[in-house]
Amino acid sequence: MTVDVEDYFQVSAFEKHIRRDQWNILPCRVESNTNRVMDLFDKHGVKATFFMLGWVAERYPQLVRRIVDHGHELASHGYSHVRVTQQLPNEFREDVVHTKKLLEDIGGVVVRGYRAASYSIGARNLWALDVLAETGHLYSSSIYPIKHDLYGMPEAPRFAFYPHPNKRLLEIPVTTVSMFDRKLPCGGGGYFRFFPYAVSRWAMKRVNQHDRQPCIFYFHPWEVDPEQPRQQGISAKTRFRHYINLHRMERRLEALLKDFRWGRMDHLFLDGALDTKSVAVWPVSSAAITHEG
């Protein structure tokens, strides 16, 4: 179970409408919404991984400490939700180093995981995985193995893999289900709100039972907040994706937490809760790394 800790105005879909220099003057709802999520996890005895923006951590250090004190994993989502596709290698390195140290200083724990903004690591910037390994991260959850208009690397494996034979970094994709020779998303986000809950439950059970693999689920604190300020001037597609079924999200999460057993990413993949000896090495193209790096 994973949570991308960002506010409603920080999503990539709004970046052309809300400038970053406006963030400080907008009403923030991330603290109350994240606390609401943690209360829900406490109710069901769930420990999760929180991929947190450094921008949020800096302004709400008490939220970082509550995440750690409640037994959840603290992981990095970068500083200010800049997609990796918009950064040069040296800019990306500075961002991940700064955010990792910031989170560790506030939370008092080692940050081992990273998730790129909008799953923005793919075929054209695989050099970013090397940077993550070199800066002390042990796993990434940044490649989404689907075809999407904003992100995705459909040729990537569906389940956890090592991008390099040295196994310094583990990549853990968000879950997809295989149907009709296609990879279909079933690990959260707008898809979870769009399709009836029964569809998501069926797909995740299929992954558990047919593929014998754990599911990686993600959502954002703003998704449990149907009262958030509505943005004007956005496209019909963006409005649909962002706002659909927000009023149903918390109820669906309740069902999800009851129907499956959930844990932290680091406990499952790094600390021995799962047998990762059989995790495959899927070497990334050295040409792709050199081209961008």
CATH of the domain at 51: 3.20.20.370
One-letter identity of residue 9? F
Contact 269, 170 (CB under 8 A): yes
Report pLDDT for 91.
98
Q: Give, for all 293 residues of the chain, the pLDDT tens digit.
A: 999 999 999 999 999 899 999 999 999 999 999 999 999 999 999 999 999 999 999 999 999 999 999 999 999 999 999 999 999 999 999 999 999 999 999 999 999 999 999 999 999 999 999 999 999 999 999 999 988 767 789 999 999 999 998 899 999 999 999 988 889 999 999 999 999 999 999 999 999 999 999 999 999 999 999 999 999 999 999 999 999 999 999 999 999 999 999 999 999 999 988 877 778 898 875 434 433 33
Report pLDDT for 285.
57
Report pLDDT for 288.
46
- Residue 132 DSSP class: H
Domains contained in the chain, number: 1
Domain limits for position 201: 2-292
Burial label for 215, CB within 10 Å (0-12, 13-18, 19+), is buried
> Three-class SS of residue 6?
coil
Report pLDDT for 147.
81
CB-facing half-sphere around the CA of 15: CA atoms within 13 A? 11
One-letter identity of residue 72? H
- For residues 219 and 233, what is the distance between their CA atoms, to the nearest angstrom? 24
Q: What angle do CA 268, 132, 282 make, to 5 degrees?
A: 65
One-letter identity of residue 273? A
Report pLDDT for 291.
36
Report pLDDT for 289.
42
